[in-house]
Structure 1
Amino acid sequence: MNELTTRIVSAIAMIAVALGVTYVGGFLFAIFVAAVATAVYWEWSKITKNWGVHWMLLGFVYCLLPALALLYLRERGEGLELVLWVFIITWATDIGAYFAGRSIGGPKLAPKISPNKTIAGLIGGMVAAAVLGGLWAWASALPPMLYMLGAPMAAAAQGGDLFESWMKRRAGVKDSGTMLPGHGGVFDRLDGLLVVAALTALIYFGAGL
């Protein structure tokens, strides 16, 4: 099995598991979120093991808040649709950025941090998230404010991606781990989702929804 096939099969499996436990919700979803957050923190700890205790504490908060955010969002009245919106925003950002970056190319977004990322990729991810996120929010009767949040959330997701890339570059590692065949570590796959989940919960809580 070549690397591309491995990545595709792994991605399908991960998406299927994520959608399944999200649909079930409740205790199973809580256990899944806790396990994933623990895996991310484990990888964070390995990356920052020589950076001082404050980085360990920062990592604990950085992993805990998105986990609590996902649990909070899933317990809303429209929790299933809302968590799926978070997933769609994150996945659309990654896919849009990948295809726009490869097909258009052009100036680099942050060459010293992540040489492969381009400004075209950033814009492509924002457009994809805006369209797909807006359509899902409308079709699922989610609050109208979510219709317009796709693009800024995509930018935030890519900010999370760049932050993790900066951490790996500082630590001198290519991937955060090896748990996911063809994808590296759990942190590698969820760097954007962590930010989107936390911001969505903050906005929801702030709006009193």
Structure 2
Amino acid sequence: MSEVGLRTVAGVIMILVALTAEWFGGTVFAVFVAAIATVMYYEWSKLVRGWGLGWHVAGFFYALLPALALLWVRERANMPGGYDDGFSLVLWAFIVTWAADIGAFFVGRAFGGPKLAPRISPNKTISGLIGGVIAATLLSGMWATYRELHWYWLLLAPLFALTAAAGDLFESWMKRQAGVKDAGVLIPGHGGVLDRLDGLVPVAVLTGAAVMAGLR
């Protein structure tokens, strides 16, 4: 199987697992999120081995904060009305992250062009970033419209997509400093859990902060 094919199959499986856990919510989603956060911290700890205690403490919060944000939004941010908006908002955050990542991958491969940050991640391009932001804005906007979420979630989508790209670049910088290609080997064609969720970290935290601030 080609690299793209392997990435696609693994990506579809990951998305289905995440959607199933989020659909059930409650204990199922909590256990799923806790397991993912634990693996993320394990992979982070391997990357920063020898970097000092501060990096390990930072990694603890790096894994903990998005996990708490997702769980809080899923279970506590429901609003009056016909929809389970906690579910809708978590899935909105997922869509922003997934669309930004997938859009950047395929648009970058199709169009190429100037590199985004060649010293950090030589394969990322400006065209990929633009494609990812557009994909995230369109797809999350369709979901927000369908679920009748407030209009400001349409405005937040491109901003959050940019933070997802920043999260990806940050993890790429860490891997470069550690001298490794991937943070782990758990996911065929993708590397580790940290490699796939680096963009979700800021998006999840910002989504939780937005809901906590009253942007519902």
**TM-score normalised by length of structure 2:** 0.93
Aligned to 1:156: 163
Secondary structure of 1:181's aligned partner: coil
Question: What's the counterpart of residue 101 of structure 2?
Answer: 94
Matched, 1:81 2:78: no
Three-state SS of the structure 2 residue aligned to 1:179 is coil
Partner Cα separation in structure 2 for residue 147 and residue 39 of structure 1: 32
Matches within 5 A, 1:169-180: 169-180=176-187
Say what the alpha-carbon RMSD is for the aligned residues. Answer: 1.1
Between 1:70-79 and 1:166-175, the stretch displaced more is: 70-79
**What is the correspondence of 1:56-205 to structure 2 with a 5 Å cutoff?**
56-75=56-75, 76-77=77-78, 78-205=85-212
Alpha-carbon spacing, 1:61–1:205, altered in 2? closer, same or farther (3 Å): same
Partner of 1:6: 6
Amino acid at match of 1:118: T
Question: After alignment, is 130-139 or 7-16 more displaced?
Answer: 7-16
For residues 82-117 of structure 1, the C-alpha deviation after alignment (integer angstroms, 9 at most, x for no partner) is: 111011101110111112211221111101000111
Structure 1: unaligned runs, 5 residues or longer = none
C-alpha separation between the residues in 1 aligned to 2:45 and 2:8?
A: 28
Closer/same/farther in 2, CA of residues 100 and 3 from structure 1, 3 Å limit? closer
CA distance, structure 1, for counterparts of residue 215 and residue 146 of structure 2: 22
Q: Runs of 5+ in structure 2 lacking a partner?
A: 79-84
Single out whichever of 85-94 and 4-13 deviates more from structure 2.
4-13
2:123 is matched by which residue type in structure 1? Answer: N
Measured after TM superposition, the shift of residue 208 of structure 1 is 6.0
Q: For 1:121-152, what per-residue CA distance to the aligned partner results, in whole angstroms no more than 9, with x for missing partners?
A: 11111111111111111111112210111111
Moved more, 168-177 or 1-10: 1-10
Report the Cα offset of residue 9 of structure 1.
Answer: 2.1
Task: Give the superposition deviation at 1:2.
Answer: 4.3
Paired position in structure 2 for 1:51: 51
Q: How many residues align?
A: 209
Instruction: Please give the per-residue CA displacement for 1:176-204, whole angstroms capped at 9, x wherever unaligned.
Output: 00111121100000000111000111111
Please give the alpha-carbon distance, in whole angstroms, between the structure 2 residues aligned to 1:80 and 1:99. 28
3-state SS of the aligned residue for 2:198?
Answer: helix
- Aligned AA for 1:93? A
- The DSSP-based 3-state class of the residue aligned with 1:116 is strand
Structure 2 CA distance for aligned equivalents of residues 152 and 4 of structure 1? 28
The residue type paired with residue 120 of structure 1 is S
CA distance in 2, matches of 1:145, 1:196: 15
Q: Which runs of 4+ in 1 moved over 4 A?
A: none
